[in-house]
Chains A and B, each alone.
Chain A
């Protein structure tokens, strides 16, 4: 027995020694707080490094942060794998509170209530976002990027056709009908290359046609996704897709990319494009001098597609949340760093101005500087103040329900599935996840907003 374990020990030591030899370049001293991130461009990365990493290291007495840059496509999965295996960075990235919930249930991230009290996070953050980041009343993640879904349009094109921005179903239908008659794609949509893109449009549609109140009830289990409001909404959506309003119908939906739709918006072949505000920083590429045209873009809040829904709903989405790894030996320093990220509104808004990067959901709206693009500034002040907040599916729906939502929606587009059957399947998946405690508690909507 002894002999055997000795021999094993020797084998392990040998392998480990080999590992050390090969990996001698392993960097970062043990005292550093590690943080994995990914960026939309080198410039954004440089800006972040300077203003969020170097600046922190300069001002902090003892804590030092070391950032490892991953790729946007794999930051999430890498973090999941590493954190599940008890490794990963001290400051844990997650793509919003639903992902953080998984880590919290698995006890892979720490409860943050003590830090929240120490740093006053409840006051620094907008209430809906703080509430959504809690699991059973305990804070587990801090939202550091948020956005919404809005309607992009080309003011020149609207003027040319004499349209006003639609706020009701009737107005929306009028613009769509006229746009189609003029040979345009009335509403941009598509999911080529990224299947889950369908949920951007689907989230918007549910908020426009079902409304936050009903969504809240469904997400808390008080109502069912099979209720008439949902069936009517999906039926309406299916009809509008059949009429080739959205994305040009089923022949084109699976071919259009986000780039195609923005290009179409700029050249007047797409009338309206309903998508996420993360494109604010990016839309400029398709318009004006950068794209060699004289087009412009603007946005408006979503119209209402039902009498029961107030126009101008903002489906809220948290793009990035940060937590503290349970395996971290630097928990306090990690929390200090998280606080640094949301502590100074001016720093966040400067970052927004310089790179177009979404800011954290800060309660301080007043210090928005003039340097921020007017359209961004308008969004980040009007949305929180509107009180008409909705729910983006990727932030508030649990994983399997969300996946069902977009993957099976293909069959609604092709007509292979009825709205009723689609929603029954959705409810079934959701029931399972609700029972298993995988659904975050959504913030309460403002009634009648």
Chain B
């Protein structure tokens, strides 16, 4: 310990003894660590314990070994939900991120009206989910929604399409609605990142005769890489946690066609009152996140990213 302290490090920070520097670091992270352990870590551990029991959420919990986990990986509903989460991840990695990148890039080149557009794009993110989801349920209604309205105008391509009631369309429809609320938030973050890109690089590219696409590809994208990476990572994590819109619009139906892990978990815990089994699902959710983050950390180390 003491010899380590004496070692010459890089920079003047080494003036303080290592033990003290560590203490300072701990003090700085302490508030986060304390509230997190108090609210999430500690009670979260109880979920880990309960995942090995048959707890019903109220009464006594009996130890059942790994039964819950065995059931988890044999349940067709859970496996279907995982598949839906994967599709959801794919959709959210492509659609909102592309839309937000495109919108942010075009907006960043706009001279006037940026504030207006940015506000308009951000508003869906501000609204309470329960209300905006309900508005979408009305818009997607096969009888009185957008399909019927267009049919009245003579365009009947969407007439009678049962967006939320048709098992083959439900998941996609919910994703579409969730994207509506989500992409504007991404756009605001991307736009901000783009404004940190050095303008001199654009000038140079322009002198070389680069078109907009080349500017985007060679300057903008590399310039916002840390933001992009972080939001890609969060997109994957959040895609496995998605709940609100699915629950309000379809509750996972029809026939489980839009069930995701979180809706199955919710139903298991609160409708079936199988809190032990639901805890096992929660552990699965956390493990998926852990694997994703670990993968990111390994990549980061290998490729020497600075994010």
A residues touching B (Cβ–Cβ < 8 Å)? 77, 80, 83-84, 102-103, 105-108, 191-196, 250-255, 399-400, 402-404, 407, 410-411, 413-414, 416, 436, 438
B194 to chain A, nearest CB (A): 41
Query: Contact at B58–A255, with CB atoms within 8 Å?
Result: no
**Does B73 sit at the interface, judged by CB under 8 A?**
no
Query: Contact at A255–B141, with CB atoms within 8 Å?
Result: yes
Q: Select from chain A the residue with minimum beta-carbon distance to B251.
A: A195
Query: Contact at B164–A399, with CB atoms within 8 Å?
Result: no
Choice from B54, B165, B274 contacting A254 with Cβ under 8 Å? B165
Q: How far is the CA of A253 from the CA of B142 in the complex (A)?
A: 12
**Does B44 sit at the interface, judged by CB under 8 A?**
no
Q: How far is the CA of A106 from the CA of B255 in the complex (A)?
A: 33
Choice from A108, A195, A252 contacting B58 with Cβ under 8 Å? A108
Give the residues in chain B near A103, CB-CB below 8 Å: 58
**Does B3 sit at the interface, judged by CB under 8 A?**
no
Query: Contact at A399–B254, with CB atoms within 8 Å?
Result: no
**Does B272 sit at the interface, judged by CB under 8 A?**
yes
Q: How far is the CA of A108 from the CA of B58 in the complex (A)?
A: 8
Give the residues in chain A near B54, CB-CB below 8 Å: 436
Query: Contact at B164–A80, with CB atoms within 8 Å?
Result: no
Which residues of chain B in 42-77 are interfacial with respect to chain A, using CB atoms and an 8 Å cutoff? 54, 56-60
- Given A102-B273, A399-B272, CB of A193 within 8 Å of CB of B137: yes
**Does B253 sit at the interface, judged by CB under 8 A?**
yes
Q: How far is the CA of A191 from the CA of B170 in the complex (A)?
A: 14
Give the residues in chain B near A416, CB-CB below 8 Å: 255
Q: How far is the CA of A411 from the CA of B80 in the complex (A)?
A: 14
Query: Contact at A403–B253, with CB atoms within 8 Å?
Result: no
Query: Contact at A254–B253, with CB atoms within 8 Å?
Result: yes
Give the residues in chain A near B179, CB-CB below 8 Å: none
Q: Select from chain B the residue with minimum beta-carbon distance to A398.
A: B273
B residues touching A (Cβ–Cβ < 8 Å)? 54, 56-60, 137, 141-143, 162, 164-167, 251-256, 267, 270-274
Query: Contact at A195–B253, with CB atoms within 8 Å?
Result: yes
Query: Contact at B164–A254, with CB atoms within 8 Å?
Result: yes
Give the residues in chain A near B60, CB-CB below 8 Å: 105-106
Give the residues in chain B near A404, CB-CB below 8 Å: 272
Give the residues in chain B near A407, CB-CB below 8 Å: 256, 267, 271
Q: How far is the CA of A35 from the CA of B30 in the complex (A)?
A: 40
Query: Contact at A102–B270, with CB atoms within 8 Å?
Result: no
Q: How far is the CA of A360 from the CA of B142 in the complex (A)?
A: 40
Query: Contact at B253–A251, with CB atoms within 8 Å?
Result: no
Besides the contacts A105-B60, A252-B165, A407-B271, what 13 more A-B pairs have beta carbons closer than 8 Å? Answer: A80-B57, A84-B58, A102-B59, A106-B60, A107-B59, A252-B162, A254-B162, A255-B142, A255-B143, A255-B162, A255-B165, A404-B272, A410-B253
Choice from A83, A191, A400 contacting B253 with Cβ under 8 Å? A191
Give the residues in chain B near A102, CB-CB below 8 Å: 56-59, 273
Give the residues in chain A near B56, CB-CB below 8 Å: 102, 106, 399, 438
A140 to chain B, nearest CB (A): 13
Query: Contact at A403–B271, with CB atoms within 8 Å?
Result: yes
Query: Contact at B165–A251, with CB atoms within 8 Å?
Result: yes
Q: How far is the CA of A404 from the CA of B166 in the complex (A)?
A: 21
- Given A102-B273, A105-B59, A438-B56, CB of A251 within 8 Å of CB of B256: no
Q: How far is the CA of A400 from the CA of B71 in the complex (A)?
A: 15
Query: Contact at B274–A400, with CB atoms within 8 Å?
Result: yes
Q: How far is the CA of A194 from the CA of B249 in the complex (A)?
A: 9
Give the residues in chain A near B141, CB-CB below 8 Å: 255
Choice from B58, B143, B253 contacting A106 with Cβ under 8 Å? B58
Give the residues in chain A near B251, CB-CB below 8 Å: 194-195
Query: Contact at A414–B167, with CB atoms within 8 Å?
Result: yes
Query: Contact at B272–A254, with CB atoms within 8 Å?
Result: no
Q: How far is the CA of A404 from the CA of B271 in the complex (A)?
A: 9
- Given A105-B59, A108-B58, A251-B165, CB of A410 within 8 Å of CB of B256: yes
